[in-house]
Amino acid sequence: MIPTLLIPGLICTPELFAAQIPALWPHGPVTVASTLQGDSIADIAAAILRDAPARFALGGLSMGGYIALEIMRQAPERVAKLALLDTSARPDAPEQTEKRRGLIRRAREGGYDGVLTDILPNLLHPDHRTDQLLIDVMIRMGQVVGAEGFARQQGAIIGRIDSRPSLSAIAVPTLVLVGDQDGVTPPEHAREMADAIPGAKLVIVPDAGHVSTLEQPEVVSAALVDWLTA
């Protein structure tokens, strides 16, 4: 059985995949990569590859998807399957970069708790933005990563390259999954990737925002099991 390597998103920990790990475990060992080493997407990908199995199925959500696409450039021969969850192949837009820089300043000036309170609910489907259990999970993950980790990850995201030119070179079974109300990396970004990757399967998850693994855990787990076992 091939191992699965999952990469969490910005200010996320393995708890992002709490429901998916036991669902995937019967089909092979599952590990969650650390995103806390490196100042660029390329450096984080290289650090993950140093500790990764020789060959693996690879899944990443949001920033984890940016890193997964970089791994596909650095070591495509090591990846057996690819899952891109709530992510995009596009580089940062200028207005996104400006917003990220403002958040970095706030976090480093002692306002990290306020940053988390401000940004995390907006990642969720509108119906989930008052779900305190979901918000608590996200705040807990953000506190583990910490202000400096947040700033470093945001800097890496700002500097990421445009992955669209390399999508057609992906030659492994690929799942592209997105929440139907993902306002960060919307369904049109997912369609763009799925259309460009040969043979990719697109799954749009109902009633989910940007954090589909937490918002609709059973649906996402089922899609990942189908991807892994196909």
Quickly tell me which residue has 């070179």 as its tokens.
169
The number of beta carbons lying within 10 Å of the beta carbon of residue 37 is 14
Predicted confidence at residue 154, as pLDDT, reads 97
Where residue 167 sits, what CATH number does that domain have?
A: 3.40.50.1820
Tally the residues of the chain: 230
Domain housing 217: 1-230
Q: Is the pLDDT of residue 141 over 90?
A: yes
Q: Is the pLDDT of residue 191 over 90?
A: yes
Q: How many structural domains comprise the chain?
A: 1
- Encoding tokens for residue 164? 């669209």
d(CA 116, CA 95): 20
User: If you compute the radius of gyration of the chain from its CA atoms, what whole number of angstroms results?
Assistant: 16
Look at 46-50, 117-121, 186-190 and tell me which has the smallest mean pLDDT: 117-121
Per-residue pLDDT of 59-107, as tens digits, reads: 999 999 999 999 999 999 999 999 999 999 999 999 999 999 999 999 9
d(CA 65, CA 91): 12
The number of beta carbons lying within 10 Å of the beta carbon of residue 175 is 23
Mean pLDDT, residues 22-35: 98
- Encoding tokens for residue 5? 């390597």
Instruction: Give φ, ψ of 29 to 5 degrees.
Output: -60, 145
Quote the DSSP letter at residue 84.
E
Q: Would you place residue 121 in the very low, low, confident or very high pLDDT band (cuts 50, 70, 90)?
A: confident
Mean pLDDT, residues 128-134: 94
**pTM, to two decimals:** 0.97
- Contact 85/200 with Cβ under 8 angstroms? no
